[in-house]
């Protein structure tokens, strides 16, 4: 039985402008967790990447290759660990160091999801240029190549996150409420009914995926295996991060330091995150019930400051 989310959140790490903010957190085990992010000189700038690693409960800065831009997301499966970032950056961890892998694109990559060493998805796009379209890339073990996407019913400058339960059941969320689904052979667009940017998603089963986003209005979407149901929840600020525990309870984080738990449907019970002004951008849970959320002053002009908060059961 996975522990009930409870207890206070506490600040574990605070970074200054020399390192920047955190954007993503993930780890293969409670003794090995990675948080990525970085700093930019201005919005749209490629910036400088940062990685911190939590081992034995304590965080330390990890080495990143020179010229690594700001890193937006991290994910892995088994020993296969990837992080992606601005300027088309993708880095693979070889067990001792991060190695840059050419993706063939130069737009920001916002999300990555790893099934296996020869089955990795990444998504991205220039979110600041409405005249461009978001992209989906696939890594087959040797090269990254763009996936063929359907003609969308709207402009969507970026795909923000990708998540899959099985290799033939993959979801992507993106700008302007775009929701895509991959069935193992092709991508299709699913109706959303919202133009709100959808930022991230997580799930346990093929028929229970939760996506969040909204920017100015908290927006929650649930996939039941066949269709998405989307609710705009005005009382919540924009949501950025989501993680579902093995019991199906959903932790969400967002702007204005929001952290909350959805136990059923779309009803969120806010928690005291100890964070007021900063943005919480991602959340992830460990096997021992500890939840970790990361973020920073992403609602202000750069340079950013960052933070990691933890919630022990």
Partner 1 sequence: MLLNTRRYAVTLLAAPLLGCPIDPEPAPEEPVAAENIYARLGAPIPDATEEQLATFERGRQVAMRRFLPSDGLGPNANVSFCGSCHEKPVLGGSGPRYRDFYIVGEKLGDGTFIEGGVNGVLTSYGFHGADIRPGNDEGNNVSAHRNAIPFFGVGLIAELDEDAILANEDPDDADGDGISGRANYDQGFVGRFGRKAQTVSIEGFIRGPLFNHLGITTDPLPPEMQAALPVPSVASVRDEQTLGEGMDVFRQAAAPAEPLSDDDGVPDPEMSAQELFDLVSFSMLTAAPEPDPNPSAAAKAGKVRFAELGCESCHVSSLQGPRGLVPLYSDLLLHDMGEALADGIVMKVATGAEFRTQPLWGVAATGPYMHDGRADTLHEAIVVHGGEAKAAAKAYGALDSEAQHEVIAFLESLGGMDQASEGLLPARAEVPAAGTPGAPWDIEDWQEPRWIEGRRLFDRDMPVSEGLGPVFNGDSCRACHFDPVIGGAGPIDVNVMRFGTLGPDGEFVQDPRGTILHKLTTHDRPRLEHDGSHNVFEMRQTPSVLGLGLIEAIPEDDILAQADPDDANGDGISGRPNYVLGDQLGRFGWKAQVPTIAEFVRDAMTAELGVTVPQSDELLYGATEDDDDIPDPEISAEQAETVGFFIAHLDYPRPKAEVPEGREVFVEIGCADCHTPEFTTADGQAVPLYSDLLLHDVAPEGSAGVPDFVALLLEFRTPPLWGLSDTAPYMHDGLAETVEAAILAHAGEADASRDAFENLSSDDADALLAFLESL
Q: Which residues bind partner 1 (CB under 8 A)?
A: 43-44, 128, 153-155, 176-177, 191-195, 216-218, 232-238, 255-256, 258, 260, 266-270, 272, 274, 276-277, 299-301
Residues 177/198, Cβ–Cβ less than 8 Å: yes
DSSP 184-205: SS-EEEEP----SPEEEEEEEE
Q: Please give the Cα distance from 9 to 160 (Å, whole number).
A: 27
Which of 40/51 has CB closer to partner 1?
A: 40
- b/e sequence 19-53, b meaning 16+ C-beta within 10 Å: bbbbbbbbbeebeebbbbbbbbeeeeebbbbbbbb
In the complex, minimum distance from the CB of residue 53 to partner 1, in angstroms, rounded to a whole number = 28
Residue 235: which residues within 8 A CB-CB, separation 6 or more?
Answer: 218
In the complex, minimum distance from the CB of residue 235 to partner 1, in angstroms, rounded to a whole number = 5
In the complex, minimum distance from the CB of residue 271 to partner 1, in angstroms, rounded to a whole number = 8
Which of 66/226 has CB closer to partner 1?
A: 226
In the complex, minimum distance from the CB of residue 279 to partner 1, in angstroms, rounded to a whole number = 8
In the complex, minimum distance from the CB of residue 22 to partner 1, in angstroms, rounded to a whole number = 18
Which of 78/270 has CB closer to partner 1?
A: 270
Q: Please give the Cα distance from 126 to 110 (Å, whole number).
A: 10
In the complex, minimum distance from the CB of residue 198 to partner 1, in angstroms, rounded to a whole number = 12
Which of 63/224 has CB closer to partner 1?
A: 224
Q: Please give the Cα distance from 252 to 284 (Å, whole number).
A: 9
Cis peptide before 303 (omega within 30 of 0): yes
Which of 77/312 has CB closer to partner 1?
A: 312
Residue 122: which residues within 8 A CB-CB, separation 6 or more?
Answer: 82, 84, 90, 103, 109, 111, 112, 113, 136, 137, 138, 139, 144, 162
In the complex, minimum distance from the CB of residue 237 to partner 1, in angstroms, rounded to a whole number = 4
Which of 163/266 has CB closer to partner 1?
A: 266
Which of 177/289 has CB closer to partner 1?
A: 177
């Amino acid at each position: 039985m996975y522990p009930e989310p409870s207890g206070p959140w506490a600040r574990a790490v605070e970074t200054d402008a020399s390192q920047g903010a955190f954007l993503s957190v993930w780890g293969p085990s409670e003794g090995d967790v990675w948080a990525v992010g970085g700093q930019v000189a201005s919005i749209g700038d490629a910036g400088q990447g940062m990685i911190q690693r939590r081992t034995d409960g304590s965080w330390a800065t990890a080495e990143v290759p020179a010229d690594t831009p700001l890193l937006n997301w991290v994910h892995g499966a088994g020993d296969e660990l990837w992080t992606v970032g601005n300027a088309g950056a993708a880095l693979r961890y070889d067990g001792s160091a991060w190695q840059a892998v050419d993706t063939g694109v130069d737009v920001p990559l916002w999300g990555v999801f790893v099934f296996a060493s020869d089955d990795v998805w990444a998504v991205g796009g220039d979110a600041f240029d409405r005249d461009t379209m978001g992209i989906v890339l696939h890594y087959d073990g040797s090269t990254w190549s763009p996936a063929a996407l359907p003609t969308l019913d709207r402009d969507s400058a970026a795909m923000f996150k990708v998540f899959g339960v099985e290799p033939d059941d993959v979801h992507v969320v993106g700008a302007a409420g775009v929701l895509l689904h991959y069935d193992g052979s092709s991508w299709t667009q699913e109706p959303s009914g919202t133009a709100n940017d959808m930022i991230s998603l997580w799930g346990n089963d093929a028929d229970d995926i939760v996506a969040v986003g909204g920017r100015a209005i908290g927006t929650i979407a649930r996939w039941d295996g066949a269709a998405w149901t989307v609710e705009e929840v005005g009382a919540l600020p924009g949501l950025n991060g989501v993680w579902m525990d093995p019991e199906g309870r959903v932790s969400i984080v967002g702007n204005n330091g929001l952290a909350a738990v959805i136990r059923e449907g779309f009803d969120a019970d806010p928690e005291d995150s100890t964070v007021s002004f900063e943005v919480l951008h991602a959340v992830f849970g460990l096997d021992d019930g500890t939840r970790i959320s990361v973020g920073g002053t992403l609602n202000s002009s750069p340079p950013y400051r960052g933070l990691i908060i933890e919630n022990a059961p």
